[in-house]
Structures are given as structure tokens and as C-alpha cells.
Structure 1
Amino acid sequence: MPSPRLSRPHPRTRRGRVRGRVGGSLAAALAVLAALGGGVTAAPAAADAGGLREVMFVGNNWDGTAEVIASRGDFGRIGRVNVIPDREERMREIYLDPLKLAFFLGVRSGPGEGHDQFVDDMYATPDGSSMVVSRPSFADVVSVDLRTGRINWRFPVAGYRSDHMAVSPDGTRVAVSASTANTVHVLDIVSGRQLGSFKTGDKPHENVFTSDGLLWNMSIGEVTTALDAPWLDWTKGDRKITVVDANTFRTVRVIDMRERLDAFGRGDLSDAVRPLVFTPDEKKLYFQVSFLNGFLEYDIAADRITRLKALPGNPATNPDRTTWVNDSRHHGLSMSPDGTKLCVAGTMDDYATVVDRATLQEGPLVEASKPYWATVSGDGRSCVISESGADRVTAIDFATGRRIATVGVGDHPQRVRLAHVPADWTGPTAR
């Protein structure tokens, strides 16, 4: 397939960005499972039993807000949550501690691209009463009451930055990466009490619970340095997949993807595993790595990489990989519930596309401004991507690969997760 016709210069900073504005427990558990990816069947209806409504949370990272939108149909806006109501208190703590201040400014100048990072990831509690949010710049996880907008509990992570999260299949536990401490904390989602933790490689990133009682963590190493030449890859740190028992938090397996890439004959690729998704039977996983415009397929039982899919590059993309945000090239991957289609966010190439899993043939390249995440709609029919460069989310039909809806959100949307809120909810009453 020829290179995509996407001629718009890539937005790098807020100034250069396109500021587009286009306009009960079973159901909750199913939504949590669907949000984990891996082809889990989505909840069957937007209006649920038990007084809950299925929605999507969209984390507006630079705003410090989370948009709540419909999980299907027109994906229309429902409400917005301020996830930093305690901002003044947190900032006071930071400015009184020189080390905290140094890391706070480091997040701003590094992964934040000149901005503070106030929301990385978010999930709902099983009863739909609260939103649990990881806040990188504040190095914590908080629970925000969806009715009042007030904080229920706060958990400061080890080190100085919180990152990606995952929720257990039963919706009762949340795992969060403490990226500067090489640690994953597992918390009770209702109380915020730590249930356990485990060590990882350098800079833990994505977390995924699987149905066999395991918790997977992918460490990506250092992604904010300019030492991005392939021969300097060794400077990025110890990157690996750490798999632990989700109840005891004991390590059951460590996967060194460098060894697997070498065996596959692609030792030139980075072994920093970024977003990934499991097949419905959890026998294979598909994953993106730093600097690659494409993804790889890994057979879990055979413990080997089996296929690589290279996707088209955008001629307008700056070929200097030191300019790519946080070592990303493509960052965002989801799978249709039946396991037949993959949806890929081509972050630095400004498009998203649906790929047939059997043939690895991509569909139409849907123009998108710095798409940073991909998930699955509540009805399982669409891939939903966040366009961080245009402050909107876009739904792409899995069957046709075409855009079907776009809705404006807040500043720099990244993570998008399925969730539940009270059926009559339109936003917190306290502002």
C-alpha cells in the first residue's frame, strides 16, 4: 500500500497543535473486562441494570480533567470531572520540597512536552460512584467522588511519577505503575489501601490483568533522553515484561524481548514494549515497540515472535527519531471482541487504521492528529482513538475501517477507558 496522503505538518507543542473542536455489578464487571482489551466481549447495553450507565472516560492529560462520553452511538459528551481539585495543596507540597520540585519540573520538560501531566489513566469503581485516576505530575492515585467531585482517598506512589493502570477482572483492584521507582502498586479500588506491590524493569508502563490470575507489566526504560540512535539503545535501561501472580504478587515469568527479537532476526528493533493487546483466548499478544511504525505478534506458549507488520509511514513525519514524543512512533492498540481485527494508532504518522489479524492487511488510513490510544466501544463495533493533537476522540468502524463519529474533549486526551456511572449522572454537583 502506498504511503498515506497526510501532508499536514506534525503538531509538536501546544502552540503548533491543531485545536479542533468537532462537535447491577455484572454490567460493571463486564465493562471493566472490556476496558482491559484482549477481545473481551463488551457490555451488551448502554443503559444497565442497577441504576448504572455505560460510558467512556477520556483523560485530558494537560487539563487535569476527564471527559465522560457515551460509549457508543454518537459518543456524545455527558459531563466532565476535575481530577485535580486539590491542586493548590499538592503544589504547596511540591514547592516546599526541592527534590519533588525537581521531578515535577522534569515531568513537565520531559514526557509532558512542556506541560504538566495531571491525568494518565482512569477507571470507575464497580458501583459507578467514583473515578480512580493516576496523576503523573502529582505522583499519586486518587479516587474522585462522581457526585460531589471531592477526593475520597489519595495514594502517593513510590518515587515521583505515576503512570498506566489496570483493573482486575472483578473490578476490585487497581494496579498502577510507579515509573521512577520501578514498582507496581496494587490497591483496593474502594479504599485505596495497598494490597501488595512488585518490582519491575526500568520505567514500568503498561499493566494488564489476564483471566488466568496473572498480572503483566511492561517496562519501557528511559524514553525522554535524546540518545535515540540505534547504537545507543543500551542506554535506555533494563526493559522486560514482568508477569506476576495477581494474588501473591510473586514473579512467575520474565520475558526478555531483546532475546526474542534477536531470534526473530530483528535485533535492530527496540525491545521497549508499549501498548499491547491479547487475543480473546489469551494465546497470542500483539505489541508495539519504541520507534516502530507497526507491531509484532508473539506466541505466548511457544515464547517467540511469529510475525511483524510494518505500516505505512507518513511522508510529512519528521524522519529524525529524536523528535518523536517519548520514543513513540505508533502508540495505541486494540482488538475487536471477536479477535479478527486490530486497531492501530499511528501516533507520529497522524493516522489510525484497522488491520485484519489473519492477513495483517491494513484498511483505510484514517487521518488523525497525534492519536495516542485505541480502545473498543461498548457495543464492540468500533475502535475509539484519542486525537491528542486536536483535542477530540474519534470512533472508527471495525467492519469498514471508516470514521463514524468524532467528539471534542479537553486538552491533550490520552487514555480512553470503558466505565459505568450512575444512570442520571451529568457531572459533579460541587465545582
Structure 2
Amino acid sequence: MRRATAPALTAATLAVVLAAAGSTVPAAATGAPADDPRPVMFVGNNWDGTATVVDAATHEPIATVDTIPDRHRRMVEILTRPDALAFHLAITAAIGEGHAQYADDMYTTHDGRLLAVSRPSFADVVGIDLASGDIVWRFPMEGYRSDHMGVSPDGERLLVSDSTANKVHELNIRTGAKTGEFPSGDSPHENNYTADGSRVFHASIGRVYTPVDRPVLRQPFDTLKGEQYFQIVRTDGLAVEQRWDMGRELEEAGYPGMASAVRPMALAPDERYVYLQVSFFHGWIEFDTQAPDADTSRTYDGEPAVGAVTRVVDLPKRTTEPRERYVLDSAHHGLAIDPAGTTLCAAGTMDGYAAIIDRETGEHRLVEVGEKPYWSTTGVDDDECWVSVSGTDQVVVIDYDTAERIATIVVGDHPQRVREGVVADDVLTAWR
């Protein structure tokens, strides 16, 4: 196990270093070509308002990017708008567990020069120049909170979930200009592009911050949670192609009383099967989006809503906390699959472990990671699963094949999303 202790550099520190060194102007400013960008992993430290940049090969931190350099200006705007202030305080008290949320999700451009970051407490997405640390564009939400994002395979389109407007915006990642939108349910959440970029697998999780968490009297409780959908969207025209209520699908598969809210998901390489976590469930679900024996009597937008639950697999439940104390209804929150499609990696949020799971047999091996693991994703190395452990401010890297801990990386306050990215070579030089 390796614990990274390299000092982090803030954007302000980087500017001082550049000025003192009398560096030449980076290629980003001159337009000169740069070497191929270096693959890295970005860790969003949600309560800090920073993103830790980690070398994907050595697991050593390289730098820390300030995701809220405009904090003072944003707070002045919020304090002068009673509606915005009310939502800001509500997000802090409920969803943020007493903390503002400053860095939820993030993606880099393919040239490694810009980082797009969603900032829930500021209800926006910003594009940050990685060389200077400056914000080069900002897109405010129509509602009062931003959340998960998604980036197209070509690196040009950015999706961002607008939590209270019940829609997802499509942006040009380089300019922040809006290019489209599609509808969602309450609290739109995950956005996952298919490999060819033609479709998006999306889910809305409902009002996870409500105190109404028991499965009795299911219909009134679902009503209070709002509309919770799992849907497939065509990127050409951003039309919803299929939509399911996963609670209903689970009930028809013989599992009544389970939640409809689909949390993190992982697409199999064939993109037919999708693996899901749902609220309050300590385990995972396999859903066949093309099930031939599905109930085709139901339709969405005039077309048969094919699809069926094919497996529901429990993982060990260790927590003794009541459902009302689950973090935003999340028993488990974080699910990844290796590129070969043979192994799943699940973050057991309320149970303190990561589970490495054989996709075919369902057999699992547990890796103790610490308090509140909150996300899992496959690293640049296809053999690695990166798990954020938000309760201890660390990221744990696990080998898919052996289920052994490879590294433990110290990051900022409350790491959540971990994303693969790239950084341009001249930007790295400037950081050094």
C-alpha cells in the first residue's frame, strides 16, 4: 500500500511560481502545438471546493485545482437573492450534511487544457483554464442546484443535471454554450454515454433529502419522493427513447417494496445490460434493456417499453443505522465495470467496504476501505478500480483481478466523484 504525501499546488500558487520563474508563455496562449496530454485522475473534493489531480500510473498527487476562485462574487449574488439564499442554505443543511457543495463532477477537454466542474451550491457549471486557474466560462442552472455530468466520447458535448429544474442541459464543453436539453424526473442524476455517443443512459433519483424513507404505504411515499425514472435518450435530437419506473420493474420481477430511484450505474460492453444500484438496497441489479420476453403492453411515447430485471443480488449489510440515517437514501453509491465486462466494483457507502464482483457468478470479495465510500470508477489502467472514501478524505485503488488494495491516496475534504482526465504537457510543466 502506498500513501501519497506530495504537496498540492493551488491555482494561486501556480501563478506565483510561473511569475517567479519567468516561464515562457504556454502553448495554450500562443496556439502552438503541445505534446500528447498525460492521463490523470481527477478527484472532486466537494466540501473543499478543490479537485486533486493524481498521476494515473504512480498514484501520486500532482496538483490541486481551486474550483471556486469566484466564491466571493457568487456568495454576494446568493446573499442578495432570497430564493437563491434559501436553496443555498437548504443544500448545505440537507444534501451537504452541513457543508456547502463546491465540486460535484468534472471532466477535462481532450487537449487537457480545460476542466469543466459542476458546483451544486452555486447552481452552475464552470470551465476552468488548467494553466491559469481562471474561469473562462460559466453556465448557471435554470434551477437551484447542479449535479452529475457526462461527456460525449468525442469530448465535445457536456451534459449536466439541473436538480430542481428536472432537466439535463447539453453544453459545448469548450465554450459553455447551451446546445440542447432533455427532460428528466425529479432530481436528475447520472448521465452515461454509449461508446459511439448515440445514446445516453440517464436516471433521476427523486427527492432523496425527504425524511419519508419507509417502504410501507408505497404509493404515498413514492409520491413524496417525486418522479424517479431510468431512461435512454437519443443524442440526435435529445429525445427520450425509453423510460422505466425501476420500482415497478422490480415488483414485476418478484421484488416488491424496493425503491424506484436508480443511483450509480455501469454499462456492460454490449450496452444491452446495465447494472444498477437503487436507494436503500445493499446490492446490485442487472437490467436487460432488450429483454425479448418483457411486458410490451406498456409503452413510452407510443413504442413498446421493453426491458426487464434479470438479477437482484444482495451484498452484506453491515450498518446498524436506520434507513432515515442513510446518506441521501444511499445504502450503496458507486458502481463501475472493467472494460472486459467481467468484474464489477461497488462502493458500499453505509457498509464501509468496496466489493469486487464476478459479473457472471455474482461471487464477491470485500475490501475494507473506511467510512462512507461514495464513488467507484475504472482507472486509466483497466485493471484498477478507484474508490473515493469521503469519510476519511482518501481514494483507495483496488486491483480488479486480485481484489487487493494497490494504493491509498490522501486528497481533500469529502472526495466524491473520481473521473479520468488528461492534462496538457505544458500545463504540467507550469505546475512543476
Please, what TM-score do these two structures have when normalized by structure 1?
0.86
Aligned to 2:236: 247
Q: Structure 1 residue 211: deviation in Å? A: 3.2
Tell me the equivalent position of 2:328. Answer: 326
Deviations 1:3-50 (Å, cap 9, x if unpaired)? Answer: xxxxxxxxxxxxxxxxxx864xxxxxxxxxxxxxxxxxxxxxxxxx93
Gapped regions of structure 1 (runs ≥ 5) = 1-20, 24-48
State which structure, 1 or 2, has the greater radius of gyration over its C-alpha atoms.
2
Structure-2 residue corresponding to 1:4: none
Equivalences for 1:394-413 in 2 at 5 Å?
Answer: 394-413=396-415
**169, 178, 187: which is aligned to 1:185?**
169
Q: Which amino acid aligns with 1:224?
A: Y
1:113 paired to 2:82? no
State the distance in 1 between where 2:224 and 2:184 align. 17
Which of 388, 396, 399 is residue 386 of structure 1 equivalent to?
388
Instruction: Note if contact 1:339-1:357 (Cα within 8 Å) is conserved in structure 2.
Output: yes
1:234-270 deviation per Cα after TM superposition (whole angstroms, max 9, x unaligned): 4211111232211211221112212211111112111
Residue 224 of structure 2 corresponds to residue 220 of structure 1: no
Matched, 1:313 2:317: yes
Mapping 1:165-244, distance limit 5 Å: 165-211=149-195, 213-231=198-216, 232-244=221-233
Q: Note if contact 2:172-2:179 (Cα within 8 Å) is conserved in structure 1.
A: yes
Shift of 1:368: 2.4
Distance in 2 separating the partners of 1:87 and 1:383: 33
Secondary structure, counterpart of 1:230 in structure 2: coil
Contact 2:4 2:59 in 1 (8 A): no
- Pairing partner for 1:131 from 108, 111, 115: 115
2:58 paired with 1:54: no
| Corresponding position of 1:352 | 354
Deviation at residue 226 of structure 1 after TM alignment: 1.0
Give yes or no for contact 1:60–1:409 (8 Å, CA) kept in 2: yes
SS of residue in 2 equivalent to 1:192: coil
SS state of the match for residue 349, structure 1? coil
Aligned AA for 1:202? D
The equivalent of 2:416 in structure 1 is 414
Q: 1:426 deviation in Å? A: 4.3
- Counterpart of 2:368 (choices 347, 366, 369) is 366
Report the equivalent of 1:147: 131
Letter in 2 for 1:388: S
1:95-147 Cα shifts (integer Å, max 9, x gaps)? 00000000000100111000000010000011110100000000000000000
Code of the aligned partner of 1:261 = L
**Alpha-carbon distance in 1 for matches of 2:248, 2:328:** 23
Identity over aligned residues, as a percent?
A: 48
The answer on whether the counterparts of 1:218 and 1:240 sit within 8 Å (CA) in structure 2 is yes
Change (3 A) 1:185 1:158: same
- Shift in Å at residue 216 of structure 1? 2.2
Partner of 1:90: 74
**Partner letter of residue 382 of structure 1?**
E
1:162 counterpart (141, 146, 151) = 146
2:400 and 2:426 map into 1 onto residues whose CA distance is 30
Of 68, 75, 82 in structure 1, the residue corresponding to residue 53 of structure 2 is 68
Over aligned residues, Cα RMSD in angstroms? 1.4
AA aligned opposite 2:240: T
- The structure showing larger relative contact order (alpha-carbon pairs under 8 Å, at least 6 residues apart) is 1
Aligned to 1:296: 285
TM-score, normalization: structure 2? 0.86
Amino acid at match of 2:243: V
CA deviations on 1:133-191 (whole Å, 9 max, x unpaired) are: 00000000000000000001000011000000000111100000001000100000001
Q: Which residue of 2 aligns with 1:280?
A: 269
Measured in 2, the distance between the counterparts of 1:376 and 1:169 equals 16
**SS at the partner of 1:62?**
coil
Deviation, structure 1 residue 377: 1.3
Deviation of 1:217 (Å): 1.6
**Which amino acid in the other structure matches residue 197 of structure 1?**
E
Whole-angstrom CA distance in 2 between matches of 1:95 and 1:377? 40
8 A contact 2:353–2:366 mirrored in 1: no
AA of the residue aligned to 1:279 = A
CA distance in 2, matches of 1:428, 1:248: 41
Indicate if the aligned counterparts of 2:102 and 2:122 stay in contact, CA closer than 8 A. yes
Determine the C-alpha separation between the residues in 1 that align with 2:256 and 2:222. Answer: 11
SS across alignment from 1:50: coil
Aligned length: 381
Deviation at 1:424, TM superposition (A): 4.5
- The residue type paired with residue 63 of structure 1 is D
Tell me by how many angstroms 1:367 deviates. 3.1
Match of 1:343 among 329, 342, 345: 345
Residue 428 of structure 1 deviates from its aligned partner by 7.3
CA–CA distance in structure 2, aligned partners of residues 297 and 123 of structure 1: 27
